[in-house]
Structure 1
């Protein structure tokens, strides 16, 4: 059975560069025979958080929220493509994740950070680690960090230069780590109900 991986991306900026990384990850996971799907917060278009999915009576959540909840519940693992905004997280991605809670539980998550600068979104990656853990996910230790995002992946979506070479070198370990935890979590869910 192919691992069902949702790859979340949250920039709403006009000239967003990180979408290249998100789309490259979809292709890279698909090449490993995973069923990877991009969830672009801008395309989903959820409003600023007012009510979480769980706060709607059954069958009364907006259709977009209902559909996304079903995808999250059906996924085996998640990848968060985390751009760094002023040492912090992207508001679009944070808003999307905050609409849900129990839907995230008992699945692994991985963080792929990026920025225009040389620190490659490391501070955003660190912030996301705690957030995702609090939301019930097991965050794998391997990360991807892409600095100089505009020069590391070209307009055709191909890794280029030193940044692109570092990405392609780091991806196999990142994907292997996520795959191991995905299998472990799936096996555990099949034999033992979650404690809550």
Structure 2
């Protein structure tokens, strides 16, 4: 069964490397028959959070925010691709995410992290779990950390070397876990209206 999945990526750097992992994820999830779209925070370019989407009168939110809200509401699942900034979250992705709340509710989320070094964004990956749970998503237990990113994925997001092969092997289980939760949540939402 095909699912509508948003892959969200948040680096604003001019020479960003994590886009490789975002593209890899889009390609790998599409290859499994899903309808996948990359949401690039830099391309969406929301301002620093002042007012959340829900705080605008209907029809008065900025066009980029309105369009993204519609995509989030229509999605079956989310994949967050994040780097690590000083042991913490990537600010561009956090800012994009914080513009919304109820729009995220009752869908599964998965996390992939990366870095230029061997820690592979693991600390950011860990921090995102609590944040996404607080925002009403079911965070799957499978996760992937990729590092060093440039030794794992080429500029076009294709796997390279031994670490690229390791990523390919790990991604199948990760995607199976996301698929299981996506199906479970879709069935439950069709069976019973969420409690809030």
CA distance in 2, matches of 1:120, 1:166: 14
- State yes or no: 1:56 paired with 2:56: yes
CA distance in 2, matches of 1:157, 1:172: 16
C-alpha displacement at 1:161, in angstroms? 1.6
The ranges of structure 1 where at least 4 consecutive aligned residues each deviate by more than 6 angstroms after the TM superposition are none
- Select between 153-162 and 118-127 the one with higher mean Cα deviation: 153-162
- List per-residue Cα deviations over 1:91-126 (Å, max 9, x = no partner): 000000000000000000000011111011110000
- List per-residue Cα deviations over 1:67-99 (Å, max 9, x = no partner): 000000000000000111111110000000000
CA distance in 2, matches of 1:84, 1:22: 15
**CA RMSD, Structure 1 to Structure 2 (Å):** 0.7
CA distance in 2, matches of 1:24, 1:92: 20
Matching residue of 2:114? 114
C-alpha displacement at 1:150, in angstroms? 1.4
Structure 1: runs of 5+ lacking an equivalent: none
Matching residue of 1:184? 184
Matching residue of 1:142? 142
TM-score (norm. length: structure 2) = 0.98
**CA contact 2:23–2:156 (8 Å) conserved in 1:** no
CA distance in 1, matches of 2:186, 2:106: 9
SS of aligned partner of 1:73: helix
CA distance in 1, matches of 2:83, 2:166: 17
Q: Pairwise mapping of residues 9-48 of structure 1 onto structure 2 (< 5 A)?
A: 9-48=9-48
TM-score (norm. length: structure 1) = 0.98
SS of aligned partner of 2:116: coil
Matching residue of 1:99? 99
C-alpha displacement at 1:162, in angstroms? 2.4
C-alpha displacement at 1:151, in angstroms? 1.5
